[in-house]
């Protein structure tokens, strides 16, 4: 835990300066204030000086302090264990900003139920029934707080007297929209049984691209991910991809191909990227919880590695010594900057590439 208010503020400033969670031990050993002032961290080899202005980082972190003064919670910083499952997984956040009961992150069972914002009646019913069955099995129901499948799962969990974790894709400063109003209402009506978290502090500009990045955190906070419904273009694919990159098993129901929302679960099952579930919710939950501790197998992971090893962007970055400027990569692949960044974002979600300012490097 941060020992003083000044130490906590230094940690918050480092988060505002985009210091990754994997640097936690170094920052703790050297002292957050020292790292903030000197900007030196061993994030690769050799140690490199990080490009930030300490005073600008402190200024960016002041809204984080206001969030805490208004009853918000900052989980993480020097206490990585407070992040629950995410602490031990790849690319942990430095902080999770939260409202609600942080003890929910430490529950022994947690299953993410995700899907489209435009579900069918069948999809809504499945989401509700599986959430109720998970609560009956004393599992935490995790989802993203969006309308549709996510919200049906959250509400069913609370209605059944259980607990739910909402992993949000916007910074904590985005308090104005309908989703945030619903989240505040859900946390208020179930004190001690709901927790809303986001990896994005109030210093992060609000934009749609955060939702894809959020899905990595959502998968990292679950023992298993269940895809209920979604089109092949659905953002749910980011959650499934992140789960596989993290070794978190993915489940789905085989669905009538003619039904809206069937494309994503069927495609995941057919490609061997999700495990098929029986239709009965209780049997489905028994299978999920029985297999949630079984990570993606070696052969399955090796297949992923071979499939991505020949990706043209990864090949270009590797040929450049592991680090390549974005504009150089775009020229080499004859892509626009926007197209290149979209491609890089997909690979970052797979845990294969990291964007560092104007450059890309191999993870």
Instruction: Check residue 189 and give its pLDDT.
Output: 82
For residue 50, the model assigns a pLDDT of 52
Q: What is the pLDDT along the chain (363 residues), one digit of tens a residue?
A: 556 889 999 999 999 988 889 889 989 998 999 988 887 665 544 444 455 688 989 999 999 999 999 999 999 999 999 999 999 998 899 999 999 999 999 999 999 999 999 999 999 999 999 999 999 999 999 999 988 999 999 999 999 999 999 999 888 766 556 667 777 888 888 889 999 999 999 888 877 778 777 899 999 999 999 999 988 878 788 899 899 989 999 999 887 777 778 888 988 998 888 999 888 899 999 999 988 755 444 434 443 444 344 467 877 887 787 889 999 998 888 777 877 787 787 677 656 778 888 899 876
pLDDT of 209: 73
Domains assigned to the chain: 1-70 (no CATH), 103-296 (3.40.50.450), 299-362 (1.10.10)
pLDDT value, residue 335: 79
Nearest to 349, CA basis, from 303, 321, 320, 308: 308
Can you give the pLDDT at residue 257? Answer: 72
Q: What is the pLDDT of residue 175?
A: 55
SS (HEC) of the chain: CCCCHHHHHHHHHHHHCCCCHHHHHHHHHHCHHHHHHHCEECCCCCCEECCCCHHHHHHHHHHHHHHHHCCCEEEECCCHHHHHHHHHCCCCCCEEEEEECHHHHHCCCEEEEECCCCCCHHHHHHHHHHHHHHHHCCCEEEECCCCCHHHHHHHHHHHCCCCEEEECCCCCCCCCCHHHHHHHHHHHHCCCCEEEEECCCCCCCCCCHHHHHHHHHHHHCCCEEEECCCCCCCCHHHHHHHHHHHCCCEEECCCCCCCCCCHHHHHHHHCCCCEECCCCHHHHHHHHHHHCCCCCCHHHHHHHHHHHHCCHHHHHHHHCCCEEEHHHHHHHHCCCHHHHHHHHHHHHHCCCEEEECCEEEEC
| pLDDT recorded at residue 347 | 73
Q: pTM, whole model, 2 decimals?
A: 0.78
């Amino acid at each position: 835990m941060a020992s003083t208010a000044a130490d906590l503020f230094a940690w918050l400033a480092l988060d505002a300066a985009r210091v990754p969670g994997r640097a936690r031990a170094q920052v703790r050993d050297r002292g957050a204030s020292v790292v903030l002032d000197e900007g030196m961290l061993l994030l690769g080899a050799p140690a490199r000086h990080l490009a930030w202005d300490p005073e600008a980082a402190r200024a960016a972190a002041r809204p984080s302090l206001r969030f805490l003064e208004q009853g918000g919670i900052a989980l993480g910083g020097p206490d990585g264990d407070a992040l629950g499952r995410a602490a031990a997984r790849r690319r942990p956040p430095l902080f999770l900003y939260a409202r609600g009961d942080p003890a929910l992150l430490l529950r022994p069972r947690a299953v993410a139920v995700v899907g489209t914002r435009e579900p069918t009646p069948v999809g809504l019913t499945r989401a509700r029934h599986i959430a109720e069955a998970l609560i009956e099995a004393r599992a935490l129901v995790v989802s993203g707080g969006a309308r549709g499948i996510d919200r049906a799962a959250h509400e069913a969990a609370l209605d059944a007297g259980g607990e739910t974790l909402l992993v949000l894709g916007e910074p904590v400063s985005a308090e104005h929209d309908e989703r945030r109003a619903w989240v505040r209402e859900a946390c208020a009506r179930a004190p001690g049984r709901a927790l809303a978290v986001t990896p994005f502090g109030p210093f992060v500009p609000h934009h749609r691209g955060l939702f894809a990045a959020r899905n990595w955190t959502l998968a990292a906070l679950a023992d298993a991910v269940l895809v209920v419904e979604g089109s092949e273009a659905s953002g749910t694919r980011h959650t499934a991809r992140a789960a596989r990159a993290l070794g978190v098993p993915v489940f789905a129901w085989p669905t009538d191909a003619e039904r809206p929302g069937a494309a994503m679960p069927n495609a995941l099952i057919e490609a061997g990227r999700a495990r098929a579930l029986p239709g009965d919710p209780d049997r489905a939950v028994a299978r999920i919880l029985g297999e949630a501790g079984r990570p993606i197998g070696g052969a399955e992971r090796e297949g992923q590695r071979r499939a991505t090893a020949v990706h043209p962007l990864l090949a270009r970055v590797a040929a450049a010594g592991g680090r390549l400027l974005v504009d150089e990569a775009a020229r080499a692949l004859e892509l626009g900057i926007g197209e290149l960044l979209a491609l890089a974002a997909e690979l970052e979600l797979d845990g294969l590439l990291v964007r560092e300012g104007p450059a890309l490097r191999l993870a």
